[in-house]
Structure 1
């Protein structure tokens, strides 16, 4: 197995354990134990621990080594941490907190895109929304997902707010997670398709108020669906 694949396998395994609570806060992790369990070298184990430390999941302490940290220390906006949490027992809480973040940010991003997006982005948004309708009505969820991710990325990155743009990968992970975890309907509801087209056309027309309202409707329905459970 290539070194990169080894890193990923061990990192994912330990990341899931920590974010799921299977490893208690304050528990020590050692290079020897990781190497023995996963059959990897100390070099690989050390690199994995460096990555976990960079994500705020562990910290080095004198005379103890590396210890597991609580959620308040995690880099909760890193796509890897989001993915691990979505795959764990805290999935519902993670979806709820991320959806609340989207509700706060994405309507304003859509309004910003209506003000700032260049002409090619406006044209692409309209084309993407139209293709999303065709794919959604056909039940092609995988390609629909790819376009959905693209649409939200375009809105965030063309909003004129670099902080919103930095959340593009976060939103992509949420959208992908909901689909791959079977939390989406077999076909998108017609209202969602209507609202995506409404956002795209409002941005294309330079209408920030309509773009904001349509995006608020999209993420608002996601919140209500989570509340319905």
Structure 2
């Protein structure tokens, strides 16, 4: 029940149904959902931790401006990707990935542990095999994709880059759940995964960065040119 209340309120806020400055009360939400006060307070507590609402005594719960929201929160990313401005948010998230993942690849070529290098190669090979079989929209592909990019960010040895693993995973997961990931990834996507992993394994920082950039540019172009979906973008 708490998760249901949270998701409904979160989507209302991100879609603008509850704009910045709007006020609602715990009692109103209790009545609408037939939920216990503790359940409603739990949902509002999560929204507050994201920065989306601010409870005020004798006033109610006030919706805050978007510049106060935590853009890396997994709940928020999920709501934004499921909303009417999905394409704009996908493009913004791709700009973030393009800014940080090639740097992570460059650093990983110097800093990754032997296990991380081996894991990247293994995940890239799984992605290649599944993608070649037209299974890019399967759970197995999604798990390998999340594992690849999470390992890449952690292998950078930079805790701030590693901290982006969760929001990046939520983007990949959200796109799959929304049916935006194609069965057969865009040309070059699978090869760039493998080439990036191999470059990191061989300590080639320049190639690792350039192949990561090439991969993400492919995805970004697809997201930018399609106003409704990115179903040809790969990952």
- TM-score by length of structure 2 reads 0.92
Structure 1 unaligned spans of 5+? 1-5
Q: Distance in 1 between matches of 2:34 and 2:28?
A: 10
SS where residue 13 of structure 2 aligns? helix
Alpha-carbon shift at residue 144 of structure 1 (Å): 1.0
Q: Does 1:204 align with 2:201?
A: yes
Partner of 2:156: 159
Question: 2:55 aligns to what?
Answer: 60
Q: Which residue matches 2:92?
A: 97
**1:194 is matched with which residue?**
191
Given the alignment, which residue of 106, 127, 133 partners 2:128?
Answer: 133
For residue 99 of structure 1, report the CA deviation from its aligned partner.
0.5
What is the CA deviation profile of residues 124-148 of structure 1, one whole-angstrom value per residue up to 9, with x for unaligned ones? 1111111111111112222111101
Q: Which has a greater percent of helix?
A: 1
Show CA shifts across 1:104-126 (max 9, x none).
00000111111111001111111
Partner Cα separation in structure 2 for residue 70 and residue 25 of structure 1: 5
- Deviation of 1:163 after TM superposition, in Å, equals 0.5
Structure 2: tracts of 5 or more residues without a match: 227-235
In 1: Cα distance, 2:134 partner to 2:111 partner: 33
The alignment of Structure 1 onto Structure 2 pairs a total of residues equal to 224
Provide TM-score, normalisation by structure 1: 0.94
Q: Distance in 1 between matches of 2:52 and 2:209?
A: 36
Q: Within 2, Cα distance between the matches of 1:37 and 1:203? A: 54
Distance in 1 separating the partners of 2:87 and 2:225:
12
For residue 218 of structure 1, the aligned residue among 215, 220, 225 is: 215
4+ residue runs of structure 1 moved beyond 3 angstroms?
A: none
Between the aligned partners of 2:177 and 2:185, the Cα distance in structure 1 is 14
RMSD (Å) for aligned C-alpha atoms:
1.1
Which whole-Å CA distance do the structure 1 matches of 2:85 and 2:59 have between them? 29
The 1-side partners of 2:215 and 2:30 are apart by: 46
